[in-house]
Amino acid sequence: MTLTGPGGIGKTRLSLQVAADLVQSFPDGVFFVPLSAVTDTNLIASAIAQSIGLAIAGNDRPLDTVLGHLRGKRVLLVLDNFEQLMPDGAPVVSGILRQSADVKAIVSSRAVLRVYGEQEFAVQPLRVPDVKALPSLEALSQYEAVKLFIERALAAKSDFQVTNENAPALAGICERVDGLPLALELAAARIKLFSPQALLARLETSLSLLAGGSRDLPGRQQTLQGAIAWSYDLLDEPQKRLFARFSVFARGANLEQAEEVCGPASELGVDVLSGLDELADQSLLRRMPDFDEPRLLMLQVMREFAAERLEASGGAAAIRDRHAAAYQALAEAAEPHVFGTDRKQWLDRLEMDHDNFRAAFDWAQSRGNDVRALYLGAAFWRFWQMRGHLREGRARIEAILASPAAQNHPAERARALEAAGGVAYWQGELRDAQAFYDECLELARAAGDKKILANALYNASFPRMVDKSDLDGGLVLVEESLALYRDLGDDLGVTRCLWTIGNHWHQLRREDLAIPPLDETIEVFRRLGSDKFNLGWALHTRAIIAIGQGEVALAEALTREGLEIFAQAVDVTGIVIFLDDSASVAELKGDVARALRLGGAAAAHQQRAGAALAAVINITEERVWQESISTPEQRRAWMEGQAMSVEQAVAYALSSDPAVHASA
């Protein structure tokens, strides 16, 4: 069996533990064979002989002596640190095992041996807590990474304690070093000088603090850099270039982007995919499961080391430019899909690469590449909205628009203004949304493109209607948009406008005029099947009317259908509004406790996502859940809802089982 993994992940520790557990199964001995100082494959047998305690007589070959001793014996060999002996050393080990039937070997290596009968066990980092949702102190100390840090910290400082004050920093340290045991031990050794909070602050800027390990460790394990450099130095030059280039990826990359950014092969000196596969075999990258294609991840501690090598190469700027271009292309490819039947897959894909998009934004802005930054903001904003990253999205888009040079690119600026208006709208900042949309409309009229103008008119109508500040003006804009979409033969555009007109009449409580266009909208969106997003919003408006008219069965059916659409895509901003709709249905049915639970869940997740549009809708629809709380039981129901996760709240809302209602 070969235990693989990067330096410092605990391969040696695990191999010794496994050997100790198996000692009774090998009556003729378990022998630890340290190989880190051995670089000549001809010396492997000598190292084994030395560990067993065999004397090599005269002109005898060490390998013959070892084979002669092992013949007929049940022995376990623990061959530690084998990677520098690859590939020529692998046949030596397989030959010993083939000629000694009852001899087994545990090999620790940063790469597999690729010999017949080999079983690989990839050693994983220790489990780390989620810094965004910290458990109790008792539960925190059960995480493997935290447990090791505490153990080593106590060895360095006997009065060290985990408290509510330092627990977040402790979890952050474990995450920062990727749960690598060596890194955790080196970090814990610094607890004599730094509090966990101060230690984390230093680690956030550099991992160079992680030096000075135990003196009885090999020199390469005295520092984290030394452990990584040991593997890096075994690579050939093309592999070193590829390793350095991959450092631009934050939290990994799919093969398409990796090939696009790290290549081409003629420049790199190695085929990108083959080279990445080899780096993964060398434990310098990790293979990650993905929903449609393989994905590779570089641990953060590796990434910092590799990034230093990339900077030293002089080619970092060009590689970062390619990285930003690749993720701009991915955002633009995803843009039309976030409304349709495959929206969850695309949103999940963007979520997986959120850190790469952040890096692309930061790089584009730092280089003054305003066109790329504007494109990224325009293409990515729906992800920010649907997955509850509105605050971040608003800050990034406003920073892009504030650049003086952004004024020089009116077409790209118009798209970014639409994005800014959309984010502000979903935040419930309707005046800001109106300002962004109105500026976008000015640019669209100047551009003279019918489709761009139709879309800008449609957007500019919305804030006026939702806050009722200018219902008539909003109707004029959407009717102008409708005429343009009819001229263009754009059925989806026409249908969206009909929904907006239905909203207009609903705001005036003219439900007799609102229902026909809304019902037509729902029928068309259902029939076309390509715009689940806007179908969901049409269902919302129609459900609100049904609730107001006391049509329980219709309201419940519409609300359920809409919630299922947004839950399937994990569209948080849509989910919270339909949780409120579900609460209204429960109230209509006389189930006050259920209404309060759903209202509490909606309020909690609105706040977390920054999706205050839901609160604006609640005000216009006169839904004031908290004001109806008058008893301890009602307060408890509200708090129970506030404690639900998004998944729990959706399951609760969709369940019709009274037992589920009572226990949620």
Confidence of residue 664 (pLDDT cuts 50, 70, 90): very low
Report the range of poorest mean pLDDT among 14-18, 223-227, 596-600.
223-227
Mean pLDDT of the chain: 91
Q: Rounded to an integer, what distance in angstroms lies between the CA atom of residue 565 and that of residue 63?
A: 67
Homologous superfamily (CATH) for 2-122: P-loop containing nucleotide triphosphate hydrolases (3.40.50.300)
Strand partners, 286: 297
Contact of 428 with 615, CB cutoff 8 Å: yes
pLDDT of 291 strictly over 90: no
Using DSSP's 3-state secondary structure scheme, residue 190 falls into: helix
Amino acid at 291: F
Confidence of residue 316 (pLDDT cuts 50, 70, 90): very high
Phi/psi for 253 (5° steps) reads: -155, 150
Amino acid at 430: L
pLDDT of 215 strictly over 80: no
Residues 6+ apart with CB under 8 A from 241: 268, 269, 270, 313
Contact of 462 with 616, CB cutoff 8 Å: no
What's the pLDDT tens digit per position in 231-247?
Answer: 888 899 999 999 999 99
- Number of neighbours of residue 28 by Cβ within 10 angstroms: 15
Residue 286 has which token pair?
């990790």
Confidence of residue 649 (pLDDT cuts 50, 70, 90): very high
Q: Rounded to an integer, what distance in angstroms lies between the CA atom of residue 412 and that of residue 406?
A: 8
What's the pLDDT tens digit per position in 329-340?
Answer: 999 999 999 998
Residue 201 has which token pair?
């602050």
CA dist 351 to 358, 365, 444, 571, Å? Answer: 11, 21, 31, 12
The domain locations on the chain are 2-122, 137-225, 343-447, 566-663
Residue 336 has which token pair?
């039309």
Q: What is the mean pLDDT of residues 426-452?
A: 96
* Residue whose C-alpha is closest to residue 462's, from 494, 499, 493: 499
Report the range of poorest mean pLDDT among 20-29, 286-295, 340-349.
286-295
Strand partners, 188: none
Kindly provide the b/e burial profile for residues 505-527, where b requires at least 16 CB atoms within 10 angstroms of the residue's own CB. Answer: bbbeeebeebbebbebbbebbee
Q: Please give the span between the terminal C-alpha atoms of the chain, in angstroms, as a whole number.
A: 47
Return the CA Rg of the chain: 31
What's the pLDDT tens digit per position in 540-550?
Answer: 999 999 999 99
Characterize the bridge pairing of strands 295-297 and 286-288.
antiparallel
* Residue whose C-alpha is closest to residue 115's, from 153, 75, 141, 88: 88
CA dist 172 to 204, 481, 550, Å? Answer: 9, 50, 51
Residue owning tokens 């966990």: 196
Q: What is the mean pLDDT of residues 297-326?
A: 94
Contact of 641 with 634, CB cutoff 8 Å: no
Contact of 652 with 660, CB cutoff 8 Å: yes
Using DSSP's 3-state secondary structure scheme, residue 467 falls into: coil
Characterize the bridge pairing of strands 75-80 and 30-34.
parallel
Answer yes or no: same fold for 2-122 and 343-447: no
**DSSP character string of 244-305:** HHHTT-SS-EEHHHHHHHH--HHHHSS-HHHHHHHHHHTTSSEEE--SSS-EEE--HHHHHH
Q: Rounded to an integer, what distance in angstroms lies between the CA atom of residue 577 and that of residue 613?
A: 9
CA dist 278 to 112, 260, 456, Å? Answer: 10, 18, 50
What kind of fold does domain 343-447 have according to CATH? Answer: 1.25.40
Residue 297 has which token pair?
């991840």
What's the pLDDT tens digit per position in 459-471?
Answer: 999 999 998 889 9
What's the pLDDT tens digit per position in 119-142?
Answer: 999 999 999 998 888 888 889 999
| Max CA pair span of the chain | 106
Higher pLDDT, 204 or 599: 599
* Range among 31-40, 106-115, 283-292, 413-422 with highest mean pLDDT value: 413-422
Using DSSP's 3-state secondary structure scheme, residue 105 falls into: strand
Q: What is the mean pLDDT of residues 74-86?
A: 94
Q: What is the mean pLDDT of residues 496-505?
A: 95
Our CA angle for 591, 620, 510, nearest 5°, is: 95
Residues 6+ apart with CB under 8 A from 153: 160, 188, 191
pLDDT of 217 strictly over 60: no
Confidence of residue 282 (pLDDT cuts 50, 70, 90): confident
Say what percent of the chain tops pLDDT 90: 75
Q: Rounded to an integer, what distance in angstroms lies between the CA atom of residue 94 and that of residue 584?
A: 70
Q: What is the mean pLDDT of residues 80-90?
A: 93
What's the pLDDT tens digit per position in 626-648?
Answer: 677 889 999 999 999 999 999 99
What's the pLDDT tens digit per position in 252-272?
Answer: 999 999 999 998 999 999 999
pLDDT of 156 strictly over 60: yes
